[in-house]
C-alpha cells in the first residue's frame, strides 16, 4: 500500500495487520474527523487534515525510527475513540474538560474494545490490553513537556498544512532526531531550540489561540443545544463531522436559535476577547515542549541549556483563558 503524505512524502505500508486496520471501519471513520475540530471557517480545504492522516503519520514515525510493531499499531489506533469535531467534544459532554482535553483518552480502552480492532489484533497475535496501555509505549506517548511521536506528527503536520514549513523542511528536522536510551533526542541544541519554538508557534497560533477558543466554544454550544433538543444523541457524535452536521441541519428550518448557533460556529459572527464584558469564559489546553538534545555524549534538556525556556514552559503549560463576547 502506497500513501502520499504531506509531511513524509510517499510511504509504503507492507505489514498485513496495518493494512487490515486501515481498511477497518474504525480507521476509515477517522478520515471524516477534522484534526483541529471544525477548522473549515478558518482555513482553506487543502490545509485541513483528518485524524486518520495524523494517525497514519504517528504510525509511520514509529516505524521509521525502529519502534516495535506493537508500538506502531498503538500509534495507528491511538485516536480511535475521538468523536466528531475532535477536542470540541470536551466542551459538550459533562465528562469533558477543556483544561486537559482528555475525554478521548479517558474512554479509549473501553471504546476500542467495542470495535472490530481487538478481533483484527488477535488474528495477528497482538494483545489489545497491552496495546491500549500508553505506559508500554513511551516513544508513542509521554507527558508534556516531553516530545513523542504523537506530538511530533501533529506539530509538524500543522506547520506543513498551514504553510509554516514545507514537507522538505519538516523532513530536515526529522533527520536531526534520533532515539537514544528510549527517548527522542535531537542531535544538537540549535535544532532542539528550533523545533521547540516551532511547537510553541503552533500552540499560540492554533491549538490555544483566540480562534481556537471561538471554535471550541461555538461548536460546543451548537452540539449541546442539538443534544438537549434531541436532534442528535451522544451515539451520533461517534460518526463523522459531516454526518453530525447533516443530521442537525434537518432541524434548522424549525429552530432559529439553532441556525444562529450554526452561524456562530461558521464564522459569521465576530467575537472579542474581553475580560471586562463577556458572555462566556473558556479554558483551552496549552502545550509546550522541552526537548532533549545531545551535548557531546551527554543528553540534556533545552530548559537546562536555556534557562529562559523554563519560564516559557511554566507559563505555557497553564491553560489559556479567554472571555468571549459576540460583537455582531
Strands (E), the chain: 2-5, 9-12, 177-180, 183-186, 271-273, 280-284, 292-295, 298-301, 320-326
Q: Bridge-partner residues for 5, per DSSP? A: 9
Rounded Cα gap, residues 42 and 135, in angstroms: 36
- pTM for this predicted structure: 0.96
Question: Would you say the C-alpha torsion 85, 94, 102, 307 has a positive or negative sign?
Answer: positive
DSSP-derived letter for residue 157 is: H
Per-residue model confidence as pLDDT tens digits over 10-42: 999 999 999 999 999 999 999 999 999 999 999
Crossing angle (nearest 10°) for helices 256-265 and 210-228: 160
**Which residue in the block uniquely carries the three cell numbers 513537556?**
145
Query: How much of the chain, in percent, has pLDDT values that exceed 90?
Result: 96
Residues of the chain by 3-state class (helix, strand, coil), percent to 5: 50, 10, 35
Per-residue model confidence as pLDDT tens digits over 37-59: 999 999 988 899 999 999 999 99
Residue 97 confidence (pLDDT):
75
Per-residue model confidence as pLDDT tens digits over 93-137: 876 678 899 999 999 999 999 999 999 999 999 999 999 999 999
Rounded Cα gap, residues 297 and 106, in angstroms: 39
Q: Bridge-partner residues for 320, per DSSP? A: 284
For 282, left (φ over 0), alpha (ψ -120 to 50), or beta?
beta
Work out the pLDDT band at 328, boundaries 50, 70, 90. Answer: confident
**Which residue in the block uniquely carries the three cell numbers 483541529?**
36
Question: In degrees to the nearest 10, what's the CA dihedral of 154, 136, 126, 52?
Answer: -10
Work out the pLDDT band at 187, boundaries 50, 70, 90. Answer: very high
Among candidate residues 77, 139, 126, 143, the one with its CA nearest the CA of residue 104: 77
Neighbours of 180 (CB within 10 A): 11
Residue 96 confidence (pLDDT):
66
Residue 94 confidence (pLDDT):
74
Per-residue model confidence as pLDDT tens digits over 53-96: 999 999 999 999 999 999 999 999 999 999 999 999 999 987 66
Question: Would you say the C-alpha torsion 172, 176, 178, 183 has a positive or negative sign?
Answer: negative
Backbone angles phi, psi at 6, to 5 degrees: -65, -25
Which domains are seen in the chain, by residue range?
A: 2-209+286-324 (1.10.3210.10)
Neighbours of 230 (CB within 10 A): 8
Rounded Cα gap, residues 167 and 41, in angstroms: 24
Residue 98 confidence (pLDDT):
82
Do the Cβ atoms of 86 and 216 come closer than 8 Å? no
Per-residue model confidence as pLDDT tens digits over 262-311: 999 999 999 999 999 999 999 999 999 999 999 998 999 999 999 999 99
Query: How much of the chain, in percent, has pLDDT values that exceed 70?
Result: 99
DSSP-derived letter for residue 34 is: B
Amino acid at each position: 500500500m502506497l500513501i502520499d503524505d504531506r509531511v513524509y512524502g510517499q510511504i509504503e505500508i507492507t505489514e498485513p495487520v496495518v493494512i487490515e486496520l486501515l481498511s477497518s471501519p474504525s480507521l476509515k471513520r477517522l478520515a471524516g474527523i477534522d484534526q483541529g475540530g471544525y477548522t473549515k471557517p478558518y482555513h482553506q480545504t487543502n490545509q485541513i487534515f483528518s485524524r486518520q492522516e495524523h494517525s497514519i503519520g504517528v504510525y509511520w514515525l514509529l516505524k521509521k525510527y525502529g519502534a516495535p510493531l506493537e508500538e506502531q499499531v498503538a500509534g495507528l489506533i491511538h485516536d480511535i475513540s475521538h468523536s466528531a469535531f475532535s477536542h470540541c467534544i470536551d466542551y459538550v459532554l459533562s465528562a469533558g474538560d477543556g483544561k486537559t482535553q482528555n475525554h478521548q483518552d479517558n474512554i479509549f480502552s473501553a471504546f476500542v474494545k467495542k470495535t472490530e480492532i481487538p478481533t483484527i489484533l488477535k488474528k495477528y497475535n497482538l494483545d489489545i490490553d497491552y496495546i491500549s496501555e500508553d505506559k508500554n509505549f513511551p516513544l508513542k506517548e509521554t507527558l508534556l513537556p516531553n516530545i513523542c511521536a504523537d506530538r511530533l506528527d501533529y506539530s509538524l503536520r500543522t506547520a506543513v498544512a498551514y504553510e509554516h514549513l514545507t514537507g522538505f523542511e519538516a523532513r530536515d528536522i526529522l533527520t536531526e532526531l534520533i532515539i537514544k536510551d528510549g527517548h527522542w533526542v535531537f542531535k544538537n541544541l540549535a535544532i532542539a531550540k528550533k523545533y521547540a519554538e516551532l511547537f510553541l508557534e503552533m500552540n499560540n497560533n492554533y491549538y490555544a489561540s483566540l480562534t481556537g477558543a471561538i471554535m471550541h466554544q461555538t461548536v460546543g454550544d451548537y452540539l449541546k443545544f442539538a443534544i438537549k433538543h434531541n436532534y442528535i444523541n451522544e451515539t451520533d457524535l461517534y460518526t463523522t463531522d459531516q454526518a453530525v452536521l447533516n443530521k442537525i441541519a434537518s432541524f434548522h428550518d424549525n429552530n432559529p436559535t439553532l441556525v444562529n448557533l450554526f452561524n456562530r460556529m461558521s464564522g459569521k459572527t465576530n467575537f472579542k476577547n474581553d475580560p471586562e464584558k463577556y458572555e462566556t469564559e473558556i479554558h483551552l489546553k496549552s502545550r509546550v515542549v522541552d526537548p532533549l538534545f545531545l551535548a557531546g555524549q551527554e543528553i540534556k534538556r533545552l530548559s537546562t541549556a536555556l534557562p529562559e525556556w523554563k519560564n516559557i514552559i511554566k507559563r505555557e503549560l497553564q491553560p489559556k483563558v479567554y472571555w468571549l463576547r459576540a460583537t455582531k
